[in-house]
Amino acid sequence: MGQLIVVIMLVGIFESLYGMFEFFSGHRHILHLDMENRVSSVTGTFINRNYFAGYLLMVIPLCMGFLFSQESFRRIRFVNWRHWLTSLEGKTLLIAFGIVLMILALIFTASRMGILSLLLSFSLISLLFREQRKERRFSKPTVLILGLALLWAIWIGLDAVISRFFSISESLEDRWKIWVNTFQILKDFPLFGSGLGTFAQVFPMYRSFHIRGFFSHAENDLLQLASEVGLIGIVLLLILFFLIFFRALFTIHSISRRDPERYIAIGSLVGVLALIFHSLVERNIQVPANAFLFTFIWALILRISTKEIRKTR
């Protein structure tokens, strides 16, 4: 399991470094394609900034869990944070530096919901990774890593990122129109939906505003899925989701704080929740790379859950 997480982390770091190189160097390519007119932020090898942000939203919490799982092997009691910093191993520092790079890349995607989802996921991680025996309200290493990434981003310059947030009302207005029309599809096909994968063909008949080209997605994975599979399909999927979710919560609660898998399970679950939150205003699960990683992380959560249930029997 550790080796697979290392591979995922290395891919995330490579994507981040490549995306930042292409953007800040002015080369503006995605692999062999000249994307001068399309690359306006860090996108890695993804065609869209939001898809790349969604990918990193899953990788970063997973890597945070892996980082804390490495530290859980150590049984040293630290006097203060200076003692903790000086005792860190090279491997731990490399993992932490990789996470900082990925956070930096996500910030410079300028994906507004991606950045908000990142802050939400780090809020959860800082609460769930805190040491209860010291009665701390949050995990200091988590705040330190996020703080370093933010300071680095501020030093580089956040003008382009901040300016994106000033146009958020415009973007929400456009999305709202799409959501209203998508909801009309659900109203006309309430039980079984219009059919899985039919959104691009059905939506033009419900579109109430003028636009060039066509829509292949509803800018909301959950709403689009509901319009395609209907209430019966979405309810069944929600039941499955909550069954796995609560099973994972029970597992995390029952695992010892000294068990490395506890932190990996928490990081995995936070990554899944971050992607779902981001998908409320974006397409993520329909992107093959994101869908594959999303499935893999669920499988990782189930593996840890199953292993822990067997231990308790």
172-192: pLDDT as tens digits: 778 888 899 999 999 999 999
Q: How far is CA 153 from CA 35, 37, 76, 139, 239, in A?
A: 24, 24, 33, 22, 40
Q: In whole angstroms, what separates CA 74 from the centre of its chain?
A: 28
Model pLDDT, residue 114: 93
State both tokens at 280: 């409320």
Q: Are 68 and 129 in contact (CB under 8 A)?
A: yes
Which residues are CB-neighbours of 22 under 8 A, at least 6 positions away? 28, 29, 30, 39, 42, 43
Model pLDDT, residue 79: 45
Residue (of 87, 19, 25) closest to 49 by Cα position: 19
Indicate the Cα dihedral angle 148, 152, 157, 158, nearest 10°.
-30
Measured from the Cβ of residue 92, the count of other Cβ atoms closer than 10 Å reads: 16
**Tens place of pLDDT per residue across the chain (313 aa):** 778 899 999 999 999 999 999 999 888 888 888 887 777 889 999 988 999 999 999 999 999 999 888 765 554 454 455 555 555 667 788 899 999 999 999 999 999 999 999 999 999 999 888 765 555 677 788 888 999 999 999 999 888 888 888 777 667 778 888 899 999 999 999 999 899 888 888 988 888 877 766 778 888 999 999 999 999 999 999 999 999 888 888 888 887 777 788 899 999 999 999 999 999 988 888 899 999 999 999 999 888 887 766 665 5
DSSP 190: T
Element of type H or E holding 30? strand 29-30
Over pLDDT 70: what percentage of the chain? 88
Model pLDDT, residue 252: 82
Q: Rounded to whole angstroms, how far apart are CA atoms 235 and 200?
A: 23
Model pLDDT, residue 81: 53
Q: Rounded to whole angstroms, how far apart are CA atoms 57 and 274?
A: 6
Model pLDDT, residue 175: 85
Q: Are 47 and 30 in contact (CB under 8 A)?
A: yes
Indicate the Cα dihedral angle 278, 283, 288, 291, nearest 10°.
40
Mark 173-200 as b/e (b = at least 16 C-beta within 10 Å).
eebeebbebbbbbbeebeeebbeeeebe
Dihedral sign for Cα atoms in the order 31, 295, 266, 87: negative
Helix 2-25 to helix 49-72 angle (10° resolution) is 140
Q: Rounded to whole angstroms, how far apart are CA atoms 291 and 307?
A: 24
Measured from the Cβ of residue 248, the count of other Cβ atoms closer than 10 Å reads: 21
Model pLDDT, residue 269: 94
204 class by beta-carbon count within 10 Å (0-12 exposed, 13-18 middle, 19+ buried): exposed
pLDDT tens digit string along 221-231?
A: 999 999 999 99
pLDDT tens digit string along 75-113?
A: 445 445 555 555 566 778 889 999 999 999 999 999 999
